[in-house]
Structure 1
Amino acid sequence: MLFSQLPEDILYHILSCLDYKSLCRLSQVCKRIYYFVNRDVVWRKIAKEFLNTGTTRNGTDRYPYIPLKERVKIAQNWHDGVCKRAVPLKWKTKLLPWLQLDGEVLFLSQAADIRAYHHRQDTGRLQRSPFEIYSGHKGDVCRFALTDSHLISGGSDGKILVHSRRSDMSMELSGHNQEVNCLDSKDGLIVSGSRDRTARIWTLTSSCTRHIIPMYDRVWSVAISPTLSSFVTGTACCENLSPLCIWDIERLECVSSLGSEFRRGAGVLDMVFESPYQLFTCGYDTFIRLWDLRLNPQKCVMEWEEPHDSALYCIQTDGNHMIASGSSYYGVVRFWDKRQPECLQFFQLSSDPVSSPVYCLRFSSSHLYAALATSLHSLDFRHNPVSIR
C-alpha cells in the first residue's frame, strides 16, 4: 500500500531500474500499479533495447496507437523468430515486384501496374482485391516511391510516371532512353537512375529534366538525404570507378566517393538513409554496410556478411537496432541486430526448385511482407506471443 502511494515521479525513478520481466510481474500487484506500469512512458527506455518496437533511437514513435508494452512482447517474437507464415497473394508470371507500406495501405507493383491493397495494421490482414490500380507504363514497373500526395514510378520503358494519390491526375516524365532501375522522391524533388548510365533530377512541378548527370555506369540505386542537400547513387561497379557517390544537389558535383575496395561487378542494389549521417547499402558483394557520413573521409564503420554468399537485393531498418535483408536465393529473409556481427534469424520463404530472390521487403511493428517472383509472403509476429510475465 505504501509503495502504491508514492509520488509518481518517485515511482518512475524506481521503475526505470527494472527490466521488462520485473515490470510485468509488478503490474499484477494491484489495479493502480497495473495502470501505472502499462503507461508508455514506463516502457519507452526498455523498448529502445528491443528489435522493431517502432521506437527509434532519436525518440520517434512510429506506431503511437499500439501500447509499448504490447510491442515489447511482440519484439520478443522478432528476436526469437516466432511467427505465423502466409502467402496473401500469388500470380502466375514471374515478375520483379516492388512494394511499399503506407499506414493501412500496401502498394505492390505487378508487371506494368501498381496495385493498392487495404492492409489492417492491427491484424495484418490484406484484402485480396486492390482498391486502386495505377497504370500507364508500356513495360514493367522497376521501382516506385511514395510521398504524401504522389506515387512516382519508373519503368522498363524509360518513363517516369507521377500519379496523384488524391485525384486521377498523372504526369509523364520523359528523358531516359533505357529502363529506370531506381528512383527516390522527397519534398517535391525526384532523383532517378537508369541503365542508360545517367542520373537525372526532376521536380514534381515540371515534366522536363532539371539536371542530367553522366554516370559512366549503370545506376542500380539512389537515395536522397533527409536534409535534401545531397543524394547518393549506387552503380553496377563494372567500370574502374567507386560504385557509391555522394552528389551535392545544388552544385551537381560529386563531393565524395564511398569505398575504394569494391571488386568488379559488386554493384549496389539497395540503400537507405537512417539519418542524415547514417547510410546503409547492400548489393552483389553479399555485404550490408553502414557508412558514417560525418567522418572525414567518410567511411564504412560496420558491415555484416551474408553467410551463404548470396547477393542482397534489399534492406530495411527500424531506426533502432534491427536490419532486415532479402537474399538472391530461395527467398531468404534475414534479421540482423546491429549490435551483433552474426545473423540473428533467417526465414526461407520459397520451397520452389527454381529459387527466387526477395526483390523487396517492408515491415511494421508486427508484420513483415516480402515480394518474390511469383508471390507476396507475410510473417505475422503476433502469433503465439511469448509470455514475459
Structure 2
Amino acid sequence: MLLHQLPEDILYHVLSYLDYRSLSRLSQVCRSIWSFVNRDTVWRRVAKEFLNTGIRRDGTDIYPHIPLKERVKIAQNWYDGVCKRAIPLRWKTKLLPWLQLDGDVLFLSQAADIRAYRLRQGRPQRNPFKIYSGHDGDVCHFVLTDSHLISGGSDGKILVHSRTTGTVMELSGHNQEVNCLDSKDGLIISGSRDRTARIWTLNSSCLRDTIPLHDRVWSVALNPTLSSFVTGTACCENFSPLRIWDVERLECVCNLGSEFRRGAGVLDIAFESPFQLFTCGYDTFIRLWDLRLSPRKCVMEWEEPHDSALYCIQTDGNHMIASGSSYYGVVRLWDKRQTKCLQFFQLSSDPVSSPVYCLRLSSAHLYAALATALYSLDFKQSPIYIR
C-alpha cells in the first residue's frame, strides 16, 4: 500500500509526528500527497507552536481566510526577524498618534482627526477614504467597536462616531484630557488627567458613574466578561497604580502588586483572556498577571534590556508579545516561553528619538506609530528597506 492510500485517520496520525520542514518536503512528493498535506487540519498542531499564526490559546482562529501552511511560513519570518521595512505615511508636526486595525482598514489619529486608510497588500493608501473629526484638540486615544468609533481628546470630550450613519454624539464629563478609553457591548470606560475614571452607557449617552482615583489615569481595560475593569495610573501618589474595579458595585476588588516605584506609571493594559492581564509602563517591565490566583499576582516578567519605558504592547493571543519603547522607535518581539527578547527593530534613526506610541499586528504586518511617521514591517516580503 502506498502512503497516500492509507486511511485518512492513519495518515493524520503519521503526519502528527512531523515538524513544519518535514511536512513541506513531504508535500513535494506527488500531487495527491500535496493535496492532503496542505489541509489546515494537518497544520493546526504545528501552527499552535509558532508566533502570530492566528491560532489563539483557546483554539479560535482569527485569520480563517489564510491557509495555515502559508501562515506558518510567515511565522518563521516573525521568529527570525526577516521583514521588509517601509514608511508609508509621514507628517511634519510632531504628534502623539494612536492606531487601530479592522481587517483591511487602518485607523490613525493625526492631531484632531482620525483617518481611515484602506490597506492594499498590507500598505495603506496615500489618501484616507474617511475622516472622523469633531475634537477641539488632539485625539489622545480611540477604540473601535462593530458599530462605533469612540475617541477621547485633549479637550476633555469623548466623541462617539457611528460607523454606519456618520452621526456624532458627544459625552461630556471630564475637564482635562482623556488619556485612555475602552468599550465593549455598549459600556464605555474612560480615564483622564483629571484623576477620575468614568463609566458611560452608550445607549443612554449619559454618564453612569465617576470614580475618583487621586492620580492621573494613563490606561484602562474592560475585562472580556464585562464584570470588572482595570485602571493604570501615574503612580505619583501613595496608591498602587494597578487596581481592579467591579463594574456594578464600583468597588475596588484588589490592588495588583505592592512594590512599584514612585512614578512607575502603567501606560498600557491588555486582557488576553478573562484571567490573563498584560501591563507595561515606566518601570520598563512587561508583566503577566494571573487573576485566578488568590491573591492575584504577577506570574511572569519581561524586562526591556535598555531600561526604556514601554509605551504599548500587543499579543497574538498565543505565544508572542510586541512592545514599543520610549527611545529611537524600538519595537521588540518576545516569545512568552522565554524571558529574553527574541527580535528588535530600531525604526527611527533621527537624532531626536521618538517613542513608539502605538503598534498593531496583523498576520503578516506590524504597524508602529511614532511622532512624525507611520512605520510598517512586512514579514511576507523580502527584507528591503524603503525610504
TM-score, normalising length: structure 1: 0.98
Distance 2:185 2:126 in 1: 32
CA distance in 2, matches of 1:329, 1:255: 35
Indicate the residue corresponding to 2:41 in structure 1: 41
Q: 1:178 aligns with which of 156, 176, 179?
A: 176
Distance 1:290 1:334 in 2: 17
Instruction: Write the mapping of 1:332-347 to structure 2, written as runs, cut at 5 A.
Output: 332-347=330-345
The letter for the 2-side match of 1:382 is: K
1:166 to 161, 164, 187: 164
- What SS does the aligned partner of 2:308 have? coil
Number of the residue aligned with 1:244: 242
- CA distance, structure 2, for counterparts of residue 249 and residue 16 of structure 1: 45
Alpha-carbon deviation of 1:206? Answer: 2.3
Q: Distance in 2 between matches of 1:72 and 1:205?
A: 42
* Divergent runs of 4+, >4 A: none
> Within 5 A, what are the aligned runs for 1:70-109?
70-109=70-109
Post-superposition CA distance 1:31-54 (Å, at most 9, x none): 111010000010001101001111
1:359 aligns with 2:357: yes
Q: Secondary structure at the match of 1:255?
A: strand
How many residues are paired up? 383
RMSD over aligned Cα atoms: 0.8
- Aligned pairs for 1:162-311 (under 5 A) are 162-311=160-309
Q: Counterpart of 2:64? A: 64
Structure 1 residue 295: deviation in Å? 0.2
Q: For residues 358 and 206 of structure 1, what CA distance do their matches in structure 2 show?
A: 36
Range with greater deviation from structure 2 (290-299 or 55-64): 55-64
Q: How many percent of aligned residue pairs carry the same amino acid?
A: 83
Q: Aligned with 1:210: secondary structure?
A: strand
The TM-score with structure 2 as length reference comes to: 0.98
Which residue of structure 2 lines up, in the alignment, with residue 384 of structure 1? 382
Q: Secondary structure at the match of 1:209?
A: strand
For 1:106 and 1:303, the matched residues in 2 are separated by 31
Is contact 1:174–1:207 with CA below 8 Å preserved after alignment? no
Q: Within 5 Å, which residues of 2 pair with 1:15-30? A: 15-30=15-30
Contact 1:198 1:214 in 2 (8 A): yes
What displacement does 1:205 show? 1.4
Confirm or deny: 8 A CA contact 1:292 1:299 kept in the other structure.
yes
Q: Which amino acid aligns with 1:29?
A: V
Give the Cα–Cα distance (whole angstroms) in 1 for the partners of residues 306 and 204 of structure 2: 45
State the partner residue of 1:111. Answer: 111
Q: Secondary structure at the match of 2:53?
A: coil
Mark the runs of 5 or more structure 1 residues left unpaired by the alignment: none
Q: Which runs of 5+ in 2 are unaligned?
A: none
CA distance in 1: counterparts of 2:71 and 2:205, whole angstroms: 44
Q: Deviations over 1:271-319 (max 9, x none)?
A: 1000000000000000000000000000000000000000000000000
The one-letter code of the counterpart of 1:36 is F
Give, in angstroms, the shift of residue 30 of structure 1: 1.1
Moved more, 200-209 or 157-166: 200-209
2:111 maps to amino acid: A
Are 1:148 and 2:163 an aligned pair?
Answer: no
Instruction: Report the secondary structure of 2:43's partner residue.
Output: helix
